[in-house]
């Protein structure tokens, strides 16, 4: 049980940590100053939630690992985030579509986790729901602006959607860990989250006059630590200072 809870908590954390890492790359390079601030805010919120989850995962594991041990000293194969969040920023359409597809999953997940039988996860979700609501609203607005903006922005948004769609299946995968967590009332029913996600996606895409891609082949592997080639570079960049000075305090 504690093993599955550790794995489950880590999955929640890794999605947010890696997405935050990607969003942090934008800092200072946003399309307009207000968006620079908004992107950094998003990165900060995700990082804050990831830190709470990593700290909790360390406690559940009971081996004394801290948030930093888990973030900086795990190897790629031990990272369990979905491949969606490790995809490169690309243009602003790719960044916003990636966030939108994630936000539309993250918000109902956090809302459902409020009722988790695990008090810690429920408490962490309690802190995140407000931010997650705001994130989804903001990314939805950008999708609509892009889709219903200029011809160029429409094309860019549709291209991003078509490129990233293959990474959405992974958000709703189930396995023995998730089944155990769901049975224990710790994790919500993932099918219900998918339903909510799908509804949001349809609603926003229709207002944006964008086309929902067909569910063709879906990428998989992230939850088992099998990532895209991007992941090694993300971790190399993120971890190198910490690893170069083993045991140092910062």
Q: Does 67 bind other proteins (CB under 8 A)?
A: yes
Q: Does 159 bind other proteins (CB under 8 A)?
A: no
Q: Does 41 bind other proteins (CB under 8 A)?
A: yes
Q: Is the separation of the CB atoms in 12 and 105 below 8 Å? A: no
Q: Least distance from C-beta 250 to other proteins, angstroms?
A: 4
Nearer to other proteins, 176 or 248 (CB): 248
Nearer to other proteins, 36 or 180 (CB): 36
Among 65, 73, 91, 213, binds other proteins (CB under 8 A): 91
Among 61, 65, 68, 114, binds other proteins (CB under 8 A): 68
d(CA 57, CA 229): 26
Q: Provide the terminal-to-terminal Cα distance of the chain, rounded to the nearest Å.
A: 34
Q: Is 9 exposed, middle or buried (0-12, 13-18, 19+ CB in 10 A)?
A: buried
Q: Does 148 bind other proteins (CB under 8 A)?
A: yes
Q: Does 48 bind other proteins (CB under 8 A)?
A: yes
C-beta neighbour count of 124 within 10 angstroms: 24
Q: Does 29 bind other proteins (CB under 8 A)?
A: yes
The sign of the torsion formed by the CA atoms of 186, 190, 98, 127 equals negative
d(CA 70, CA 239): 11
Q: Least distance from C-beta 106 to other proteins, angstroms?
A: 19
Among 47, 60, 104, 181, binds other proteins (CB under 8 A): 47
C-beta neighbour count of 20 within 10 angstroms: 20
Helix, strand or coil, per DSSP, at residue 175: coil
For 209, left (φ over 0), alpha (ψ -120 to 50), or beta? left
Which stretches of the chain are assigned E, i.e. beta strand?
Answer: none
Name the segment binding other proteins (CB under 8 A); options: 99-107, 184-192, 194-202, 232-240: 232-240
Q: Least distance from C-beta 13 to other proteins, angstroms?
A: 11
Site residues, other proteins (CB under 8 A) = 21, 24-25, 27-37, 40-41, 43-44, 47-48, 50-51, 54, 67-68, 71-72, 91-92, 144-146, 148-150, 152-153, 156, 237-238, 240-242, 245, 248-250
């Amino acid at each position: 049980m504690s093993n599955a809870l550790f794995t489950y908590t880590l999955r929640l954390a890794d999605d947010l940590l890696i997405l935050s890492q990607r969003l942090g790359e934008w800092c200072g390079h946003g399309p307009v100053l207000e968006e620079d601030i908004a992107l950094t805010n998003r990165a900060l919120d995700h990082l804050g939630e990831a830190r709470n989850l990593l700290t909790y995962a360390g406690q559940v594991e009971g081996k004394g690992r801290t948030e930093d041990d888990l973030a900086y000293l795990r190897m790629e194969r031990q990272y369990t985030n979905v491949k969606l969040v490790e995809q490169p920023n690309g243009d602003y359409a790719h960044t916003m579509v990636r966030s939108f597809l994630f936000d539309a999953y993250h918000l109902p997940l956090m809302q459902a986790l409020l009722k988790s039988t695990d008090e810690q996860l429920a408490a962490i979700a309690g802190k995140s729901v407000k931010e997650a609501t705001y994130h989804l609203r903001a990314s939805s607005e950008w999708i609509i602006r892009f889709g219903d903006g200029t011809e160029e922005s429409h094309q860019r948004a549709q291209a991003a959607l078509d490129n990233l769609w293959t990474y959405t299946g992974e958000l709703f995968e189930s396995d023995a860990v998730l089944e155990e967590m769901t049975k224990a009332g710790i994790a919500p029913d993932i099918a219900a989250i998918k339903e909510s996600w799908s509804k949001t996606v349809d609603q926003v895409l229709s207002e944006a006059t964008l086309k929902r891609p067909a569910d063709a082949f879906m990428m998989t592997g992230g939850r088992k630590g099998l990532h895209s080639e991007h992941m090694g570079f993300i971790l190399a960049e993120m971890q190198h200072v910490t690893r170069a000075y083993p045991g140092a305090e910062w």
